[in-house]
Amino acid sequence: MDVEQILQAMTPEVYQRLMTAVEIGKWPDGTPLTPEQRDATMQAVMLYQSRHNTEAEHMSVEAGGEIKFKSKAELKRDFPTEASQGATPDASVEEIARFKVDHN
């Protein structure tokens, strides 16, 4: 199978699974990627991005094959923090859980 056939057969769901596998180093069933699998999967992800990625993140491959780096200002615009929206510093910390510790 050549590259064009692979890219035509790759659905967004398959792309997302491959992307996750590259990010965490494991397949969805928990099996670790071999170095060869990681390299091949990363190439497939980059090829897919080069054809379909019109909203490139901080550093990724845009449609057309160009590597896209976002500036700090672009990232701040895309990911506003509560502090940048006028929240107090204490309000920007979100609690996950609170536990009472019994020291007896």
DSSP per-residue string spanning 33-60: PPHHHHHHHHHHHHHHHHHH-SS--SEE
The domain of 18 spans 3-92
pLDDT higher than threshold 80 for residue 10: yes
Which tens digit of pLDDT belongs to each residue from 34-63?
A: 999 999 999 998 888 888 776 655 566 777
27 pLDDT exceeds 80?
A: yes
Q: What average pLDDT does the segment 15-44 reach?
A: 92
Asked if the structure places residue 10 within a domain, the reply is yes
Q: Are 82 and 88 in contact (CB under 8 A)?
A: no
For residue 87, is it within any domain?
A: yes
Quick one: pLDDT band at residue 74, thresholds 50, 70, 90?
confident
In a domain, 74, yes or no: yes
- Does the pLDDT at position 69 exceed 90? no
Is the residue at 103 inside a domain? no
How many alpha carbons fall within 13 Å on the CB side of residue 68? 18
